Amino acid sequence: MKFIQTLKNIWTIQELRQRLTITVLLVLVYRLGCYVVLPGINPNDLDALTSFTNRSGLMQLLDMFSGGAFSQASIFALGIMPYITASIVIQLAGMVLPSFQKMQREGESGRQKLNQYTRYLTVLILLVQGPAYLLNLRIQVINAGGTVEMGFWMTAFLTIVLAAGSMFIMWLGERITDRGIGNGISFIILVGIIARLPVALFYEFTSRLPGSTGSEGGLIMFIVEVILLFAVTVGAVLLVQGTRKVPVQYAKRIVGNKQYGGARQYIPLKVNAAGVMPIIFAQAIMFIPLTLAGFSAGEGHGFFATFTDINGFWYNFVYFLMIVAFTYFYTAITVRPTQMAEEMKRNNGFIPGVKPGKKTAEYLESILSRITLPGSLFLGIVAILPAFARSFGISQNFAQFFGGTSLLIMVGVVLDTLQQIESHLMMHHYDGLMKEGKIKGRTTGSAY
């Protein structure tokens, strides 16, 4: 079989084999760390935290991105999300602050400075999130009848442990990027999400067995759910890879005895140029009501109850509108038609039937606006699909895989990783993973 032969080819290439081995070993270190409980915490008292996480949809999202470490009071409980938050802030700062824009133009030295600022900001975020997480942990353990010592010095010590754990995860991600396969940070998020899938799938299967709670529809319903999950995944792949190709004709130039240009090429404008970033932005804002309400055993009332209920209409309606708006916003600041038109003009390129310069920029902008609308609507629908899944009786754990950030991250990271493996195979003159020999990765400029 071609697939078996491809696996043999992958193992034959020494560099690729070493990179895959290093990636697996570093991922194993990360997964083992997710089960190391914080000092001074009795693992038997963590059932209350798990129960609270399962009740709160927003907390369950955090638990998913940490690979279950959040509900297990692990040293990796805060996961990689503080680093992602810091990266987003620095990225936005680079779009509005001249000093950060200057660093972006300085090449490798500027990139190192920005990475250093990102690390500093990550530490500050961890120093805020650490005590908040420990306060929640203390409340849940006490409400469950357990005891936990959480004085000032203990809180400070555990905050340092949590911060060190997250920084260690960041270091693992950087090592995977440098010496492994794929983008390390994204790969760690992927591993955390996939780690929850077998348990969620098994729980959904057993709940559909005759005599179980929620067994309406039986195994037929479970098969339908799996088919729907596959269909949604295919739709997410199309969303990530969808492009509109704009033809560009380059004028002929003769320099000496050589002819340059004259060939027609295509500019691929992505249907979803913003990637998963609009969902991350929207989720960050939707976390605000939970933060203001504080961590407590109660369900909350009024405004806070409405916007912490991930199954509610208003939560999902506002969430959908924010994703559409952020898709346009992020596309506008990352894809710049004016710069593309100037680049084409400098290289003697033009779009057939369109004048170079301003008219080309307007033409590209009009196409981008038209393809961004369906892309943003589809992205918003994918983001709120888990709410629809839960309304049809699918368990909360399994419903998370029907859309949202988890599905798009899984699809995007898998495609990126396969693309890197494909490049190694083609470089050593082996057949690729796909029959056509091409796998499209994400080119949104973000690893998340």
What's the helix, strand, coil split of the chain in %, to 5? 70, 5, 25
Task: Tell me the C-alpha distance between 209 and 215, whole Å.
Answer: 6
Task: Tell me the C-alpha distance between 25 and 88, whole Å.
Answer: 28
Tokens of 411: 């699809």
Q: Is residue 201 part of a domain?
A: no
Is 360 or 298 the better-scoring residue by pLDDT? 360
What's the confidence (pLDDT) of residue 279? 79
Is 380 or 261 the better-scoring residue by pLDDT? 380
Whole-number average pLDDT of the chain = 77
Question: Residue 153, SS3?
Answer: helix
Residues 212/395, Cβ–Cβ less than 8 Å:
no
Q: Is residue 159 part of a domain?
A: yes
144: DSSP letter: T
Tell me, yes or no, whether 176 and 244 share the same domain: no
pLDDT at 275 over 60: yes
pTM: 0.73
Contacts 24+ apart (CB under 8 A), 432-439: 432/6, 433/6, 439/415
**Distance, C-alpha 81 to centroid of its chain:** 10
β-strands 349-350, 243-250: how paired? antiparallel
What's the confidence (pLDDT) of residue 447? 44
pLDDT at 351 over 60: yes
What's the confidence (pLDDT) of residue 428? 67
Tell me, yes or no, whether 159 and 254 share the same domain: no
Tell me, yes or no, whether 113 and 166 share the same domain: yes
Tokens of 49: 């935290």
Tell me, yes or no, whether 20 and 73 share the same domain: yes
What's the confidence (pLDDT) of residue 251? 64
Q: Is residue 130 part of a domain?
A: yes
What's the confidence (pLDDT) of residue 150? 76
CATH number at residue 147: 1.10.3370.10
pLDDT at 67 over 80: no
Half-sphere exposure of 70 (CA within 13 A, CB side): 26
Share of residues in the chain with pLDDT > 70 (%): 76
Tell me, yes or no, whether 273 and 320 share the same domain: yes
Residues 305/314, Cβ–Cβ less than 8 Å:
no
Q: Quick one: pLDDT band at residue 25, thresholds 50, 70, 90?
A: very high
Tokens of 358: 């301003």
Is 57 or 249 the better-scoring residue by pLDDT? 249
Task: Tell me the C-alpha distance between 135 and 126, whole Å.
Answer: 14
Tell me, yes or no, whether 54 and 181 share the same domain: yes
What's the confidence (pLDDT) of residue 257? 57
Is 193 or 124 the better-scoring residue by pLDDT? 124
Tell me, yes or no, whether 188 and 240 share the same domain: no
Query: Which of 67-81, 188-202, 204-218 shows the lowest mean pLDDT across its residues?
Result: 204-218
pLDDT at 237 over 60: yes
Tell me, yes or no, whether 282 and 155 share the same domain: no
Q: Is residue 33 part of a domain?
A: yes
Q: Is residue 188 part of a domain?
A: yes
Contacts 24+ apart (CB under 8 A), 191-195: 191/27, 191/30, 191/31, 191/67, 192/34, 192/64, 192/65, 192/66, 192/67, 192/68, 192/69, 192/79, 192/80, 193/64, 193/65, 193/67, 193/406, 193/409, 193/410, 194/410, 195/31, 195/34, 195/67, 195/68
- The predicted model gives 151-170 an average pLDDT of 89
Tell me, yes or no, whether 104 and 178 share the same domain: yes
What's the confidence (pLDDT) of residue 337? 85
Residues 78/124, Cβ–Cβ less than 8 Å:
no
Which residues is 37 bridged to in the sheet? Answer: 74
Q: Where is 266: in which H helix or E strand?
A: strand 264-270
DSSP line for 422-441: HHHHHHTT---SSTTS----
Q: At what angle do helices 197-207 and 218-241 cross, to 10 degrees?
A: 150
Tell me, yes or no, whether 180 and 284 share the same domain: no
Tell me, yes or no, whether 161 and 36 share the same domain: yes
Q: Is residue 408 part of a domain?
A: no
Residues 273/335, Cβ–Cβ less than 8 Å:
yes
Q: How many domains does the chain have?
A: 2
- The predicted model gives 404-428 an average pLDDT of 77
Domain residues for the domain of 346 are 223-402
Q: Is residue 438 part of a domain?
A: no
Q: Quick one: pLDDT band at residue 340, thresholds 50, 70, 90?
A: confident
Tell me, yes or no, whether 278 and 383 share the same domain: yes
Q: Is residue 38 part of a domain?
A: yes
Residues 416/442, Cβ–Cβ less than 8 Å:
yes
What's the confidence (pLDDT) of residue 436? 47
Model confidence pLDDT, tens digit, residues 86-142:
887 887 787 778 888 788 777 778 888 888 888 999 999 889 888 888 887 777 777
What's the confidence (pLDDT) of residue 302? 61
Task: Tell me the C-alpha distance between 25 and 218, whole Å.
Answer: 40
